[in-house]
Amino acid sequence: MMTSTATAAAAAPSAAFVQGLLLSLGLIVAIGAQNAFVLRQGLRREHVGSIVLFCAVADALLIAAGVMGMASALGERPALARAMALAGALFLAVYGARALRRARRPGQLQASGADAGLGRAAALTQAAAFTLLNPHVYLDTVLLMGSIGAQQPAALRGWFVAGASSASALWFGLLGFGARGLAPWFARPRAWQWLDTLIGLTMLLLSALLLRHAWAGI
């Protein structure tokens, strides 16, 4: 029979993976230009694989860069690490509250109805613009996820990045390859109401866990 210490050690990678997965999903699932563009390409069946791959890989690289960079910056500064954890907990609490508020007045995600098709290079250029020119990607993906991932022990950071990257790949894959079936669902405010409620509660839970982690380090 495994000891409690061995059981906790065995569960730690999966816990880090799930935390990264849930955090990434909570931040990426939103009504926005990038998601609308991926949905549009999926509906038109234009370069879907290339678009999904680009968005997923870009997210994975940004997440990894954020985690590794923040880990290096915070490694010798425990006070700064606690401050970042507290700031992250506050951000997630506010984000969760905003998601719950959005659930009271839900919106819709609809793809553009433009008629002109795009070549592969043009489609990837637009995907890059929607991904890299959005300031929120650096706040959410690099800074926030980086600071939270950096709180993990060194051996578990890779699991956190893997979970977060899996969430991006799953979401963009669903949007792109499942566009025909998902488009009517995304056009219903009620669906976004339920989704925002779930996101809000998840973000509040992650905020509480991060706050507990920061408090334990004081």
| Mean pLDDT for the stretch of residues 211-215 | 72
Q: How far is residue 176's CA from residue 44's CA, in Å, rounded to a whole number?
A: 10
Note the pLDDT tens digit of each residue in 130-185: 888 877 787 788 888 888 888 888 899 999 999 999 999 999 999 899 988 877 88
CB 196 within 8 A of CB 106: yes
Note the pLDDT tens digit of each residue in 173-209: 998 999 888 778 877 888 878 878 887 888 888 888 7
Does the reported pTM lie above 0.85?
A: no
The rounded radius of gyration (Å) of the Cα atoms in the chain is 18
> Helix or strand or coil: residue 187?
coil
CB 186 within 8 A of CB 35: no
